Amino acid sequence: MASNPDRRSVVPSNGGRQQERESALPQPTESRYLRTAQVAELLHVSPKTVSRWAQEGRLPFFRTLGGHRRYPDAEIRALLETLSEPSPTG
């Protein structure tokens, strides 16, 4: 099979990795639930910490049929907002 020198590759030069990173953290309207790694990235903690907080009842979650945890997007983002607010001094 001869190759055509005028033919260009349709594969992005970064191998599609940028698109994977952009979709790693969905916007609030895009997805209703987040994976453990996504919550960890939002809260700047490790995925293990997110799992531990869920086990301790600190984070709301439900389990998929496969046994994986999913976290409600709106509730996690609301928690993030309350954590980002400066605490009142006094």
Q: Which amino acid does the sequence have at 32?
A: R
Question: Would you say residue 72 lies in a domain?
Answer: yes
Range of the domain at 67: 29-84
CA distance 73 to 62: 12
Secondary structure (3-state) at 80: helix
pLDDT digits (tens, 9 = 90+) for 46-84: 999 999 999 999 999 999 999 999 999 999 999 999 988
Measured in whole angstroms, how far is the alpha carbon of residue 34 from the centre of its chain? Answer: 6
pTM: 0.62
Q: What pLDDT was estimated at residue 52?
A: 98
What is the domain-level CATH number for residue 45? 1.10.1660.10
Question: Would you say residue 76 lies in a domain?
Answer: yes
**pLDDT, mean of residues 2-29:** 51
Question: Would you say residue 65 lies in a domain?
Answer: yes
* Mean pLDDT score across all residues of the chain: 79
